[in-house]
Chains A and B, each alone.
Chain A
Amino acid sequence: MAYTIAVEGLSKRYGATPVLDGVDLHVARGGVHALLGPNGAGKSTTVKILTTLVAPSGGRAVVAGHDVVAEPAAVRRAVSLTGQHAAVDEVLTGRENLVMMARLRHASRSAARATAEQLLARFDLVDAADRVVGTYSGGMARRLDIALSLVGDPQVLFLDEPTTGLDPRSRRDVWTAVEELAGSGVTVLLTTQYLEEADQLADRVTVLNEGRVAAEGTADELKSRIGGETVQLILPDLGALTAALIAVDGQGRLDESGLSLHVTTDGSAGAVRDLLQLMAARDVAVERVAVHRPTLDDVFLALTETTQEVAA
């Protein structure tokens, strides 16, 4: 299978500090791929290398058929980058931003205006087209940012944390915009700190941790690897805690901070009911119950524990 993004053994060091340490990544044409990881995992560095902004220390990366080190100009013609902060010109209007970007991609004046018109409509910015971008909401600015990235019909679009710092409504707007891209044939690589976002938008997810790939797969595969949701049982005293732990045959995680036990379930109401009935049958007085959906912390905890076991 031919990949639009093919990365093998990519590494980057700043001085003696390794930021990327042998990253492999393969993204199929037309797919939406998420790089998921916490701050400092190497997500942005990967994007900067793939968009030729930063040179790798080792390994090989081919984007749209061109090597990022040997043919940076060809890569730049094929890709577009939307950075962590909306790189829009706040002093210009939305339309002027789009026309400027089209002109910088060497479109004629009339073609640039037509492109601007079309993208304003596609990203629901027609009403705000002639307002200065400084007056836009966060979500509008980010939508304009993505529209700017699409000027010149790039084959590959890089979105570096497209929803960081946005309110929930703006985040949903950006998600809609990205979902529309998915059907258009452009290959999207997005980075995010949110499992929910990767889940919503990406066909495949690569989890990065400390510069290495911790896991790769579909969002469902990753979630099943960490065992779905956990039910937290809050117990009145140590005796009850011990009894509860015995009741689940030790298949639970004790909370270090207090008297509570986390039990992994599939998240269904039936599983919670079964667990509570089991506790009732053993006369364990459960004070309160909380259901936790897996967070990024859980994913990392689970995945990094796995990799440590493999390494050991």
Chain B
Amino acid sequence: MTAVTTEVGTLIGRSVRHTVRSIDATIVAIVLPVLILLTFVYVFGGAMQTGTEYLTYVVPGIIVLCAAHGSAMTATSVNHDLTTGMIDRIRSLPVVGASLLVGHVVASVLRNLVSTAVVVAVAVLIGFRPVATPVGWVLAAALLALFMAAFSAVSAAWGLLVRGPEAAGAISFVLLFLPYVSSAFVPPETMPAVLRGFAEGQPTTPVVETLRALLLGQPVGGAAVPAVLWCTGLLVAGIAASGWLFRRRTS
């Protein structure tokens, strides 16, 4: 067991160093969501009718968008390890196969929690007033971490499946698209029936709803269970697929 802890710890350390040293990528990961936040609040915000102040409505959505975007970057880093032979090298070691992927996923969660904190801080600066209880904050952070882990694991599997960095990066469009067609920016009731069905049936809507309730101190209601089930399901599927691909893919 200690051997596995050393392996995982070493590889998490590696991925964290990557994040810190690829400072340009990290800045993009933080600046982009902040720009999206400002765009939605000041450009689209005036026209939005969501029943509450739009800033209050949209911040939880922006947080989820930011988490989805940041998690998608895992695909590129895993794919880089595949194409540069790092995965072959690590597989030829007596190392538990999942360690490298756990390293990527954990580092991704840590990176995204930091960029999320920055987004929340900017939101507070421009007038967002969360009223979450301490327990609410902890639950919100835990749900976000689970969401990030799930999307990162799915991205890792994608990164192992495809052949090059461009294809690996393409998953960010899919993961970025999901929050747009959810309750993140506008209530799904305003969408056409087909889109509305999709918005209400996909994973980001219950996550956004639960996060919104937690941050605004409202009753969490029925969204929490599907949110946790979706994230856990995607996490398990992502890990299983990554593990299977890891044993088979080679540069």
Contact = CB atoms under 8 A, between A and B. Distances in A.
Contacts of B250: 48, 53-54
Closest 3 A/B residue pairs (Cβ): A87-B85, A83-B85, A87-B89
A103 B6 contact: yes
B84 A105 contact: no
Contacts of B22: 91
Nearest to A151: B93
Interface string A140-154: 000000001000100
Interface string B78-111: 0000001110111111110000000000000000
B18 interface: yes
B93 A104 contact: yes
Given A100-B10, A103-B7, 7 more contacts: A76-B92, A81-B89, A91-B17, A103-B10, A104-B10, A104-B93, A106-B3
B90 A91 contact: no
A111 to B, nearest CB: 12
**Size band of the interface chain A makes with B:** 20 to 34
Contacts of B90: 104
Contacts of B3: 106
A106 B184 CA distance: 45
Interface string A227-244: 000000000000000000
Interface in B106-153: none
A117 interface: no
Interface residues of B, number: 24
B14 A92 contact: yes
A73 interface: yes
A56 B22 CA distance: 39
Given A103-B6, A105-B93, A83 B14 contact: no
B251 interface: yes
A89 interface: yes
A66 to B, nearest CB: 12
A225 interface: no
Interface in B1-53: 3, 6-7, 10-11, 13-14, 17-18, 21-22
A104 B7 contact: yes
Contacts of B17: 91-92, 96
Nearest to A99: B10
A56 B128 CA distance: 61
B92 A85 contact: no
Nearest to B15: A91
Contacts of A105: 93-94
Contacts of A53: 88, 91-92, 250
A131 B158 CA distance: 32
A79 B89 contact: no
Nearest to B14: A100
B7 A87 contact: no
A48 B91 CA distance: 11
A282 B93 CA distance: 67
Contacts of B14: 89, 92, 100
A80 B92 contact: yes
A52 interface: yes
A73 B92 contact: no
Given A92-B14, A104-B7, A132-B21, A84 B85 contact: yes
B92 A81 contact: yes
Contact of A73 (B6, B10, B94): B94
